[in-house]
């Protein structure tokens, strides 16, 4: 299958692109910036585009049979000086379905949106949280475009952890250095609470499963492991050869309260539907392995 991965220079989209290429698909990546030098993503064809501006020509889209969209905006993408609600409206609520509509008009037949787990795992947040609501509306807008000739599916992922050789992800580089003790005198601790996590490997497997076998118009809630934040931070510390840090009920510099939409001290645990997991064909219990891979990458780069 000839696949375009939008957001393919980033960790999530890039891993999906490399995984799909490894499974025999003909893969190109697209985004505002080309992939970092020295990564295997450089071997893939690159198309420059800004999905919010919807500036990829119909003739370019028409080259592809399938679209994987991994460019939805979250708190990391908030521009300075713009209201959060306005940005979520422009980038997610309007921008994502508009891009999928352009893909459908260009003749793409299979489309997978990598979305957020919040609307399905914590629907009570939709009404009061502009970001979560924007992801819900983006998801709804994408799947509303489904027709017999345009399979539109969402795979909605929890917190994602993983790595690509040569790709520097600032968050995970910081987590590794923190686990190594390089951020002293910053106190070493984990906040209370926890959430579901998934590896990039599991997510990429689910993306291919959705492309090949997913039900048209369906939103799949993905999930792998429910981990406390102490378990999560602890996996980085153990991989770095150090003791698991204690829990302190205070905001963490590397996991600020603004990134925990369900509230520090709470948990957002769930089990994905076993039949859906089997249909999509993604592995479970892969998060700690992925963290070990992350730590090995950034320790070797130090």
Secondary structure string (H, E, C) spanning 75-143: HHHCCCCCCHHHHHHHHHHHHHHHHHHHHHHCCCCEEEEEEECHHHHCHHHCCCCHHHHHHHHHHHHHH
Beta carbons of 30 and 95 less than 8 angstroms apart: no
- Residue range 142-189, pLDDT digits in tens: 999 999 999 999 999 999 999 999 999 999 999 999 999 999 999 999
Please report the pLDDT score of residue 37 as a whole number: 87
CATH of domain 2-161+197-224: 3.40.50.720
Architecture of domain 170-195+226-270+285-301: Alpha-Beta Complex (3.90)
Beta carbons of 47 and 24 less than 8 angstroms apart: no
Three-state DSSP class for residue 39: coil
Please report the pLDDT score of residue 130 as a whole number: 92
CA gap 135, 119 in Å, rounded = 7
Domain ranges across the chain: 2-161+197-224, 170-195+226-270+285-301
- Residue range 112-154, pLDDT digits in tens: 999 999 999 999 999 999 999 999 999 999 999 999 999 999 9
The count of other CB atoms within 10 Å of the CB of residue 168 is 15
Residue 77 reports pLDDT greater than 70 = no
Please determine whether the domains at 2-161+197-224 and 170-195+226-270+285-301 fall in the same fold group of CATH.
Answer: no
Reported as a pLDDT band with limits 50, 70 and 90, residue 78 is low
């Amino acid at each position: 299958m000839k696949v375009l991965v939008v957001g393919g220079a980033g960790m999530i989209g890039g891993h999906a692109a490399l995984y799909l290429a490894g499974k025999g698909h003909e893969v190109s990546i697209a985004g505002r910036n080309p992939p970092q030098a020295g990564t295997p993503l450089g071997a893939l064809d690159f198309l420059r585009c800004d999905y919010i501006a919807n500036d990829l020509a119909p003739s370019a889209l028409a080259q592809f049979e399938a679209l994987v969209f991994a460019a939805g905006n979250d708190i990391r993408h908030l521009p300075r000086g713009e209201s959060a609600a306005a940005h979520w409206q422009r980038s997610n609520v309007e921008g994502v379905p508009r891009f999928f509509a352009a893909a459908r008009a260009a003749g793409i037949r299979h489309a997978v949106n990598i979305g957020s787990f919040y609307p399905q795992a914590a629907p009570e947040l939709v009404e009061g949280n502009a970001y979560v609501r924007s992801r819900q509306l983006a998801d709804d807008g994408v799947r509303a475009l489904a027709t017999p000739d345009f399979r539109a599916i969402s795979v909605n992922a929890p917190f994602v952890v993983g790595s690509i050789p040569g790709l520097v992800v600032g968050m995970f580089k910081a987590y590794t250095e923190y686990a190594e003790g390089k951020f002293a005198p910053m106190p070493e601790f984990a906040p209370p609470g926890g959430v579901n996590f998934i590896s990039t490997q599991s997510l990429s497997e689910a993306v291919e499963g959705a492309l090949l076998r997913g039900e048209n118009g369906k939103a799949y809630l993905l999930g792998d492991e429910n981990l406390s934040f102490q378990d999560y931070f602890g996996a980085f510390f153990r991989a770095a050869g150090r003791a698991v840090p204690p829990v302190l009920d205070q905001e963490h510099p590397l996991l600020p309260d603004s990134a925990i939409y369900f509230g520090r001290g709470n948990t957002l645990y769930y089990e994905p539907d076993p039949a859906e997991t089997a249909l999509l064909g993604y592995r479970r219990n892969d998060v700690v392995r992925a963290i070990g891979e992350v730590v090995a990458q950034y320790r070797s780069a130090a």
